[in-house]
Amino acid sequence: MSHSLADGGKFLILGIPGPEVDSATRELIRTVRPSGFILFSRNLRSPEQFRALLDELRGLSPFPPFLAMDQEGGRVSRLRQIGNEPPSARDLRERGDSSLIRRHGTLIGQLFRLFGLNWNLAPVLDLGVDEEADNSLRNRCYGRSPDEVSRAASTFLEAMRAEGILSCGKHFPGYTFVRSDPHETLPSLDRTLLQLEAEEWKPFRELLPACDSLMVGHVLCPSLDPSGAPSSLSPAVVEGILRQKWGYSGVVVTDDLDMGAIAYHYSLPDAAELALRAGNDLLLVCHRPQLARETAERLARLPDSVLGPAERRIETLRGRLAAPLPFSSERFIDLDIQVARLRVETLSPERASEPTRDHAKRSPVETF
């Protein structure tokens, strides 16, 4: 039985190199036919350019593509490249006003629809127990306790959903208590199953019905999988816990397979195959799209017992993608002013006027 690149490409979400689609990328998209794309600040130069880029990506795809971005607020706000930076989850948590969190979700949803984005890889459902830990979560968590996170993230999710934008709860099984950054190395999560269920898993369990998708992070968790497989490549974690124990039937996406936690230990085709076999559906490849052909070829050869369920979940979610709204520069300016107002109302006037490029403890790889 022959397999085409597209048979494997449908499980990939690719980053693209720059603000325009070059000829090599255009040919890659036509042959691999990825399910969608993830956009970063490197892809943004102006509001008009960004909308044109997304329109071109949509036009190159034979089906409505997932057009994803990490727009959490604070330092993980890709759109700050062309506009104002919204407050972070921690800023909103400390302000303690749920109406501001709702406005934040609404504004993100409206900006996404204006540009033609349809999937926000947010919110973070990890706990902010240690803001100084080098675990990539600084300022990104909606609370220190499970109840805080669940309340705030639920408000954010509802507001985005009302605007038609898909959400993604992340990073299961949790970066909360790890002590190293998965962008650079593979962390170890030394928590027992009872500890996980009693604390950091509570927001995931409570918001499972509200999340359009879940993201699995890259951690070693000996209590969940003594084989030594990272959580994102672990059947015990993805299939065993999310699918079987929790009964989750939605889309599961890996954190970026180009992160150091995975890339320093596995080739991309190997990691992609293990991730799909583990029960993931969509695989993020944010920085090495040139490896997509080889990876798609590998995935296309997997048995239908692996590919079939993932494809069905992907297509179910694809059917809910929102269409873009007509673009207007004036509308963008209006929304951007509202983002600035939200920032001022959330922060003190002094902090709101500070430069928003917070590079302190910023991971060297631009993906979360």
The pLDDT value recorded for residue 180 is: 83
Instruction: Scan for tokens 């672990």, then name that residue.
Output: 234
Residue 360 reports pLDDT greater than 50? no
Read off the tokens for 151.
């309340």
pLDDT tens digits along 88-121: 999 999 998 999 999 999 999 999 999 999 999 9
Catalytic residues: 183, 255
Mean per-residue pLDDT of the chain: 92
Q: How many CB atoms lie within 10 A of CB 269?
A: 17
Picking from 141, 122, 123, the residue whose alpha carbon sits closest to that of residue 131 is 141
C-alpha distances out from residue 231 to 59, 116, 171, 241, Å? 35, 32, 10, 11
* Domains of the chain as residue ranges with CATH: 5-352 (3.20.20.300)
Report residue 131's pLDDT band, with 50, 70 and 90 as the boundaries: confident
Per-residue confidence (pLDDT) for residue 365, from 0 to 100: 43
Q: How far apart are the first and last CA of the chain?
A: 38
Helical pair 23-32 and 47-60, crossing angle rounded to 10 deg: 40
In this prediction, residues 1-21 reach a mean pLDDT of 86
| pTM summary value | 0.93
Name the phi and psi angles at 204, rounded to 5: -65, -45
Reduce the DSSP state of residue 169 to 3 states and report it.
strand
**Which backbone phi and psi does 77 adopt, to 5 degrees?**
-140, 95
Q: Quick one: pLDDT band at residue 349, thresholds 50, 70, 90?
A: low
Contact 7, 307 (CB under 8 A): yes
Whole-number pLDDT of residue 355: 53
